[in-house]
Amino acid sequence: MMSEKQDLHLVEWLRRIQLSWELDLEKLSKLCHVDQSVLKHFLDMSSAEVSELPSIPTGLESAVALVGIYRRVSTVYKTPEEQNQWLTRANSVFEGNRPIDVMSMSPDHLAYVSYTVESGLRLGGQE
């Protein structure tokens, strides 16, 4: 049986990430490499409108990796405060860069961080 978390739509995951990680629209759009106007359109939708969307709406394809990162990080770091510390601290796994900065660089960098956390490589790595 699927849990409530697994039943969330991609747009609902993005809303959860935005709230949990305290991201404004600009930062969230940079993290998931989606134009701000496109992201705002989806985030402003009602629950009923979201339920009519495909699982991965056109324009949000690159946001899927961010959800995977969030899900994995939130299993290791239980509170938003711990997650934000992980996001914003220099990390040796990412050559001393902050994960949030690496994720913002490009869709390829976002995919790399996603691969890294999903494959179980060290999430620690704090300098």
What local confidence, expressed as pLDDT, does residue 55 receive? 94
Q: Please compute Rg for the chain using Cα positions.
A: 14
Q: What sign for the dihedral angle of Cα 21, 23, 29, 30?
A: negative
* Of 90, 56, 6, nearest in space to 100 by CA: 90
At 127, the pLDDT band (50, 70, 90 cuts) reads very low
Comparing 120 with 43, the larger pLDDT belongs to 43
At 4, the pLDDT band (50, 70, 90 cuts) reads very low
What local confidence, expressed as pLDDT, does residue 30 receive? 97
Q: Is the pLDDT of residue 11 over 90?
A: yes
Q: Which residues partner with 80 through β-bridges?
A: none
pTM equals 0.87
What local confidence, expressed as pLDDT, does residue 124 receive? 59
Q: Is the pLDDT of residue 125 over 60?
A: no
Q: Is the pLDDT of residue 2 over 60?
A: no
pLDDT single digits (tens) 25-52: 999 999 999 999 999 999 999 999 999 9
